[in-house]
Amino acid sequence: MSKSEESTYHELTITPSSHIELFSDFLSDVLPIGFESTDESLIVRSEESLENIAWGVEQYADALQNALNTQIDVTIESELKENQEWVEIYQNAIEPITIEPFHIHPTWVKPDSTLLNITIDPSLAFGTGHHPTTASCLKAIAKYQQDGSKVLDVGCGSGILSIASAKLGGVVDACDTDPVCISNTAQNAKLNSIDLNLWKGSIARSTKQYDLIIANIVADVLHMIAPELISRLKCGAILILSGILDRYEDKILSSFDSLSVIEIMREDEWVSIVATNKE
């Protein structure tokens, strides 16, 4: 690599007219690196070309328009920039968040001594509590989990929900079908001095029953694995379902109609459902 190439990097700025959170979810799924999120745009930086990412965003925007039956315009700007310690700039853009009793922060931000701290650094499976579905799950865990509960986190992603549950005294199993998520959860658990029983694969690999099950994944997957989720609940157990767009709420409620709904949490277009099999 030439000296001039070493001193430059590619920057891709993605600005959708709406549904920025869905574009953020898409980037989290496909990027091998972190990205910066502002109120209006998503910014990806890399020493490698980002042409394929730009093309993928365009294809995703088209598919999203068809799925939602609405017009979504997206502006994609690509620039080659001089290297100016952009990692430090990116780090400064990551804000800690408090969802009591938890304080979620990256390693370069000091913990809050008055709260339960969860340390999470940006990565491919980046989950920090900023997204409404993660935030709702954290609130539900804090509200409904009992000390010593046997817990299963299905689709653990960054491991933030598993870590939160363990911080509250849960004995936690966690699984994900994505090996990158498994690796990231393992790293974050170690970073937080948390022991998890972690495996790559689905809930089908477990024959246990749990006091609390958390499933923060897309509605279609929740629908498909509903029988397995229900069968793994102990009598009187709690099930937290999240990652549900509001237009799929009725479908998910129907899939889990053998349970009693305790609470439905709504933020923007996202829905989280807390249910129990207690009669």
Say if residue 84 is in the same domain as residue 102.
no
Say if residue 135 is in the same domain as residue 175.
yes
Say if residue 108 is in the same domain as residue 223.
yes
Q: Which of 147, 188, 137, 150 is nearest to 167 (CA)?
A: 147
Ramachandran bin of 217, using left for φ above 0, alpha for ψ from -120 to 50, beta for the remaining angles: beta
The CB-based long-range contact list for 249-258 (8 Å cut-off, 24+ gap) reads 249/273, 251/219, 251/223, 252/219, 252/222, 252/223, 255/222, 255/223, 255/226, 256/226, 256/229, 256/230, 258/230
Q: Among the residues of 31-71, which ranges form H helices?
A: 51-68
How many distinct structural domains can be found in the chain? 2
pLDDT of residue 274: 97
Distances (CA, A) of 169 to 1, 45, 147, 248: 50, 38, 5, 33
Say if residue 113 is in the same domain as residue 202.
yes
pLDDT band at 91 (very low <50, low <70, confident <90, very high): low
First to last CA, the chain: 66
CB 164, CB 118: distance < 8 Å: yes
Distance of CA 153 to the CA centre of its chain: 12
Say if residue 127 is in the same domain as residue 265.
yes
Share of the chain above pLDDT 70, in %: 90
Domain end position, chosen among 68, 91, 114: 91
CB 41, CB 67: distance < 8 Å: no
Domain end position, chosen among 37, 67, 91: 91
Please check the confidence at residue 1 and state whether its pLDDT lies above 50. no
Write the CATH number for 180. Answer: 3.40.50.150
Domain end position, chosen among 29, 63, 91: 91
Average pLDDT of span 152-156 = 95
**The residue to which tokens 């999203």 are assigned:** 64
pLDDT of residue 117: 95
CB 91, CB 106: distance < 8 Å: yes
Say if residue 40 is in the same domain as residue 109.
no
Write the CATH number for 7. Answer: 3.30.70
Please check the confidence at residue 6 and state whether its pLDDT lies above 60. no
| Residues of the domain holding 15 | 3-91
